[in-house]
Amino acid sequence: MKLTFLGTGAGMPSKERNVSSIALSLLQEANSVWLFDCGEATQHQILYTSIKPRKINKIFVTHLHGDHIFGLPGFLSSRSFQGGNQPLTIYGPTGIKEYIETSLELSATHLTYPLIIEELKEGKIAESENFEMYCKKLNHGIPSFGFRIVEKDRPGKLQVDKLIKMGIPPGPIYKQIKENETYTLPNGEVIFRKDFLGPTKHGRIISILGDTKSTEKNQKFVQGSDVLVHEATFNKENKELAEKYYHSTTEQAALLAKNSAVRKLILTHISSRYQSIDYPILLEEAKDIFHNTILAEDFFETTIE
Amino acid sequence: MKLTFLGTGAGMPSKERNVSSIALSLLQEANSVWLFDCGEATQHQILYTSIKPRKINKIFVTHLHGDHIFGLPGFLSSRSFQGGNQPLTIYGPTGIKEYIETSLELSATHLTYPLIIEELKEGKIAESENFEMYCKKLNHGIPSFGFRIVEKDRPGKLQVDKLIKMGIPPGPIYKQIKENETYTLPNGEVIFRKDFLGPTKHGRIISILGDTKSTEKNQKFVQGSDVLVHEATFNKENKELAEKYYHSTTEQAALLAKNSAVRKLILTHISSRYQSIDYPILLEEAKDIFHNTILAEDFFETTIE
Ligand SMILES: [Zn+2]
Ligand SMILES: [Zn+2]
C-alpha cells in the first residue's frame, strides 16, 4: 500500500506544485491503483511515475472545483490510447456525471473500456474483496467529501509448527485448513482453524479528505486512521482567511489528527502564496500539535505498513 | 509578431511534447496575445514562458478533440486568479460554448472578466484595428477549422526630408499630415499625404490550420501566407494511416506550402510514435519538397518580420 502525491497545490498550478491528485497503489492487495481527485495535468504527472493508467480502476472525486477535476477528461481519454480495457469506476458528487459525459461527448472521445460513474451519498460507497469504502460530507463552499478506505482484517499466518507437531505433514491440506473454519482429518478428528492461526492482521485505514473548513464533525470519521491526508491551505496565522474560504490551517489539521488518534498526518493542498522557504514553518506549526506530520510535495511517496 | 509553440504533440501528452497550443504575441501590434487551441496543461506550459495570461484576449479553437480543448477550463479559471479583468473572446466550432459553460458551471468557477464565446461560420470572423481574421472548414473526422490572420497594410514612413525641404518644420503638424489624406498648410496650400509617405508596409499573413486530411481545397485559403502552420501527424510512408485518421503527412503539408506560395512552413502535431531520433528524417521529407520548413518543438519561437 503506497500513497503517491501527484499534485499538492491549491487553486491553480505553479512551477512547484500541481493541482490536486493522489494515487493509492494497491498492487499487492488488489492489483490496482486508486486515484483521489484528478486536477489538470494529472496524466502529465503520472508520466514521471511508475503508475500505469490502465491499472487505475477507481477514481474518487472529493468535490467539483476545477483544481480537482479538470484533468479527468484527458486522463480518461489517454487511458484508452494506452490500451486500457478494464472497467473504471468514478465516485464523485452530484454533477460529476454530467461534467464527464458532456466533456467526452462534445470532444467525440470514445473510450475503449466501460466507464461507471456513481454519484455519492454519505455512508458506505462500495465493498471489494479486501476493502470497504466510506464517504462523508465535509464543510466547503460546495459539496465536498472525505473518503475512509478500510482494509478488512486478514486471518493470521498458519502456524505450521503446531500442525506438524500434531502429525499433519505439509501439503495441499494446509490450504484446506486455512480456508475453512473447521476441517475433518482422515482419522475423523475435527480441528478448528482458529486454533492454528497466528494473531489476526488488522486492516489498515486511510482517510483522505477533500477541501474543508475545520470542524469537529470530521473527527469520528477519521478516528484511528493509519494515515490521514488533510488539506492545509493556510498557515495558522491566516485562520480568518481559512474560515472565509472554507479551508483549513496547518494547526487545525493537526488538531484533528491529535483528537482523532490517527497514526500519521499528511498535509497537502498548500496555497501558492507559500514558497519553499515557508514549508518548514508550515510543518512546524502542525508538528507542535501533532508530531507525526509530513508536508507533502509533488511526487512524495509513503508506504503504509 | 511572434509565434510560441506551447504544445506540438498529437492525441496525448508525452514527456517530449505537450498537446496542441500555439501563442501569437501581438504586443507591439495590439498589446495582446492570441492563443490557437488550448490542450490540457497549456497553462502549465505558459508558466515557463514570458506570456501573461491576462494579455491573452482571443482564443481560436480549431476543433473539439480533447487534445485541443481540455486545457480551456483551467486556463480560463487561472486567468481570473491572476487578476485578468479584460474581456476574452473564444472562437470555436459549434459545441465549444456548451463545453465551456458546462465545465465552468459545474465546477462553480466564477470568472472576473467578461467571456464571449462565438461559434464559427466559414468566412470573416472578426476585424480589429490592425487585423482581419478568417476561417475555413478543413477535412477532419469532426468539424475542424483553419485560421488566416491578415494584418492590414500600414502606411509607409513619413518622409521628413521632403517636408523640411518644403519648409515645413517638425512638430505636431507631422502627426496631422500622417493621419489625414489631405492637409491645408497655413499659407492655404493643400498637400496630399500620399506624396510624403514611403512605400506601404504590406501586412503579414499567418495561417494556422487545425487537424486536417490533405486536400487541394486548402490551397487558396493559405495562399501567400508569410507563415503556414500545418499538422504533420505522420511521416510520408504512413500516407494510408493519415488518410484513415483524417490527418496529413510531412510530404502533404510541404506540397501545400509549395503550391500556395507561402514563405515559411512550420510543422506541428507530431505523433508520439516518433522520437527525437526521427525528427530530422521527418523534417527532411518536408524540406525535399519545400525548403523553408521548420519542425516545431515545444517552446519553439519564431518572429515574423
Ligand atoms: Zn482545491
Ligand atoms: Zn489533434
- Interface check for A108 against chain B (CB to CB < 8 A): the answer is yes
**DSSP symbol at B83:** T
Strands B32-36 and A56-60: what pairing?
Answer: unpaired
Query: How far is it, in rounded angstroms, from Cα A256 to Cα A230?
Result: 9
Please name the residue of chain B whose CA is at the shortest distance from the CA of residue A45. B15
* Collapsed DSSP state (helix, strand, coil) of residue B162: helix
**B227-270: pLDDT as tens digits:** 999 999 999 999 999 999 999 999 999 999 999 999 999 999 99
Query: How far is it, in rounded angstroms, from Cα B124 to Cα A266?
Result: 55
- Interface check for B77 against chain A (CB to CB < 8 A): the answer is yes
Task: Burial-class residue B50 by CB neighbours within 10 Å (0-12, 13-18, 19+).
Answer: exposed
Complex ipTM value: 0.91
Task: Select which of B37, B67, B226, B298 is catalytic.
Answer: B67
**B208-229: pLDDT as tens digits:** 999 999 988 999 999 999 999 9
Query: How far is it, in rounded angstroms, from Cα A83 to Cα A95?
Result: 28
* Collapsed DSSP state (helix, strand, coil) of residue A214: coil
**B166-186: pLDDT as tens digits:** 888 898 889 888 888 899 988
pLDDT band at B84 (very low <50, low <70, confident <90, very high): confident
N- to C-terminal Cα separation, chain A? 7
Q: What is the pTM of this model?
A: 0.92
Residue with cell 469504502: A133
How is B187-213 classified by DSSP, letter by letter? TS-EEEGGGGB-S-BPPPEEEEE-S--
Relative to the alpha carbon of B268, which ligand is closest?
Answer: 2
What does each C-alpha distance from B199 to B43, B100, B107, B156, B194 come to in angstroms?
A: 41, 45, 54, 5, 9
- Interface check for A73 against chain B (CB to CB < 8 A): the answer is yes
**A271-304: pLDDT as tens digits:** 999 999 999 999 999 999 999 999 999 999 999 9
Name the residue among B48, B66, B78 with its Cβ closest to that of A107.
B66
Residues of A in contact with B78 (CB under 8 A): 12-13
Output the pLDDT for position B83.
Answer: 85
Q: Which of residues 234-293 of A touch B (CB under 8 A)?
A: none
Q: Is B37 a catalytic residue?
A: no
For B143, list phi and psi in degrees, rounded to 5: -55, 125
Nearest in space to B74 (alpha carbons), one of B45, B49, B41: B41
**A77-98: pLDDT as tens digits:** 999 999 889 999 999 999 999 9
Q: Which of residues 42-61 of A touch B (CB under 8 A)?
A: 43-44, 47-48
Domains of chain B (ranges plus CATH)?
Answer: 2-154+201-303 (3.60.15.10), 160-196 (no CATH)
Q: Best of A15, A44, A64, A117 to disrupt the B interface by mutation (most B CBs within 10 Å)?
A: A44
For A259, list phi and psi in degrees, rounded to 5: -75, -15
Q: How many helices (H) and strands (E) does chain B have?
A: 11, 16
Residue B99 and residue B69 in contact, taking contact as beta carbons nearer than 8 Å: yes
Query: How far is it, in rounded angstroms, from Cα B280 to Cα A9?
Result: 39
Nearest in space to A184 (alpha carbons), one of A194, A172, A192: A192
Are B81 and A12 inside 8 Å of each other by CB? yes
Query: How far is it, in rounded angstroms, from Cα A136 to Cα A120?
Result: 9
Ligand 2 centroid to Cα of residue B217, in Å, is: 20
Name the residue among B43, B65, B77 with its Cβ closest to that of A107.
B65
Query: Which residue type is seen at A178?
Result: K
Q: Best of B106, B119, B233 to disrupt the A interface by mutation (most A CBs within 10 Å)?
A: B106
